[in-house]
Amino acid sequence: MSNKTAYTYTVLRYVHDIATGEFLNVGVALLAPERRYLNALCRTTYGRLKEVFPSLDGESFRAAMRHVTHEFERFQRELADELPLRSPEPGIMGYAHAVLGADDSSLQWAPMGAGLTADPGATLKQLFERFVTAHEPGAPVHRRQDEDIWKRFSLELQQRQVLRHFVEKTIAVDDDQVEFKHAWKNGVWHCLAPVSFDLASADSIREKAHKWLGQLTSVAKAREDFKLYFLVGEPTLAELRPAFESALSILGKASVEQEVVPEAMASELGERLAAEVQAHERALRRS
């Protein structure tokens, strides 16, 4: 007869910039109801986050971690006294959202996971090591933003004297829209989207790709035809290469006409687009 019990868990993420969605995992909470076990482990220092996000308010972050830890300790005492869960949400998420609500703040809970364990406390420590402390870097790494990737490609267009033809464009459906800062029309809209995958973790890379997939799926049936060019920047860390490859595969699932262009192909894309723009302009002058 097995002595294992069911548990649910969730990972706490620190999202530094809601717009880009880049995050680092900072805690784990676990509930094993049959053992009446509830606990959370959170970071107690913020040096790692400061290396990746220099503008982090360290003291506010540390205070938030203390709050999460103390609230889970309080819930553990209530659970030990057989007080009922005060939230209708299943598993650990009821407690998690009672501590930190599901909103757009910088601390957010990941989707719930589940498993079986003979020792909930040991499993919580294993999950914390897996999701939070497994990839501690040796030194700070400069990470490029979407704007940095755009600079590489825009230089190619500027040198070929066609950058001025690219304008802002909104691709819309009845209930949603996606804005592109750099687009050019030649029968269809050619929309350029710089996307840096030079992020802090594999989870951040995949999350960013999924965000793009969701946006494009939402506007796939737009009234105006468009082609999307993903101008992608690779991660600095070699160990994140598999996550980058997964991200490219995720982008490829979008049901819109698209092309993924790595930084190494910036010159080739610039030359091709410049030739198309110039040919289009000559045709307009002849007409």
The string of pLDDT tens digits covering residues 150-202 is 988 888 888 888 889 999 999 999 999 999 999 999 889 999 999 999 887 88
37 within some domain: yes
122 and 50 together in one domain: yes
Are 153 and 279 in the same domain?
A: yes
221: tokens are 């049936």
* Boundary residue ending a domain (69, 104, 133): 133
The lowest-confidence range among 110-114, 130-134, 138-142, 203-207 is: 138-142
Q: Are residues 167 and 266 in the same domain?
A: yes
pLDDT band at 244 (very low <50, low <70, confident <90, very high): very high
Q: Domain total for the chain?
A: 2
185 and 261 together in one domain: yes
- Shared domain for 17 and 118, answered yes or no, is yes
Domain extent, residue 109, equals 5-133
pTM recorded for the entire structure? 0.56
Looking at residue 200, what is its pLDDT? 77
Q: Is the domain of 114 the same as that of 241? A: no
Asked, for residue 189, whether it belongs to a domain, the answer is yes
Q: Are residues 191 and 263 in the same domain?
A: yes
Mean pLDDT, the chain, as a whole number?
87
Same domain, 239 and 156: yes
265, exposed or middle or buried, with CB in 10 Å at 0-12, 13-18, 19+? middle
- Look up residue 27 and give its two tokens: 């805690």
- Cβ-contact 23, 109 below 8 angstroms: no
Give yes or no: residues 165 and 61 share one domain. no
Does the residue 213 lie in any domain? yes
Do 126 and 244 sit in the same domain of this protein? no
For residue 139, tell me if it sits in a domain. no
Does some domain include residue 38? Answer: yes
Indicate the range of 4-18, 27-41, 122-136, 227-241 predicted with least confidence: 122-136
Cα pseudo-dihedral 64, 99, 53, 131, rounded to 10: 120
Whether residue 110 is found in the same domain as residue 209: no
Give the end of a domain, one of 104, 133, 162: 133
Domain boundary residue, one of 133, 166, 191? 133
